[in-house]
Amino acid sequence: CYKIAQISKDDNSQLAVCRVLLAELEAHKDAWPFLTPVNHKVILGYRKVIKRPMDFSTIKRKLNNNLYFNLDTFIADVNLVFDNCEKFNEDDSDIGQAGHNMRKFFHELLHLKK
């Protein structure tokens, strides 16, 4: 019984860590391009170029629907946000720079929590 309790506790604490990490990402001044899904009707070419769109609001919905198996699957979706951004935007564009800043911020957050 203890073992089962132990596993579920880890899942809950990992889930709590994901929620805190996401809240910190959303609060960052450079989060604005990533808060909601890119509107492919407005941003021409996005749907064709980016095969797996991802954004912070989608990550929040997936967290709330228990769709992340562990911290690593959550980290994979956050990195997908930044990888999509690098693919679609020039490094010296406002959104490209925001993506680089957010990726660095997230990386530092992860190394703080260890």
Ligand X SMILES: Cn1cc(C(=O)NCCN2CCCC2)ccc1=O
Chain centroid to Cα 109, Å, comes to 12
Dmax (CA) for the chain in angstroms is 55
Closest residue to bound ligand X by CB? 33
Residue 31 in contact with ligand X, rule: CB under 6 A: no
Collapsing DSSP states into helix, strand and coil, what is residue 82?
helix
CA–CA distance, 52 with 30 (Å, rounded to integer): 22
Q: Can you tell me which of 15, 63, 75, 95 binds ligand X, judged by CB under 6 A? A: 95
The number of residues that bind ligand X (CB under 6 A) is: 9
Using CB under 6 A as the binding rule, whether residue 58 contacts ligand X is answered as: no
Residues that bind ligand X (CB under 6 A): 32-34, 38, 43, 85, 88-89, 95
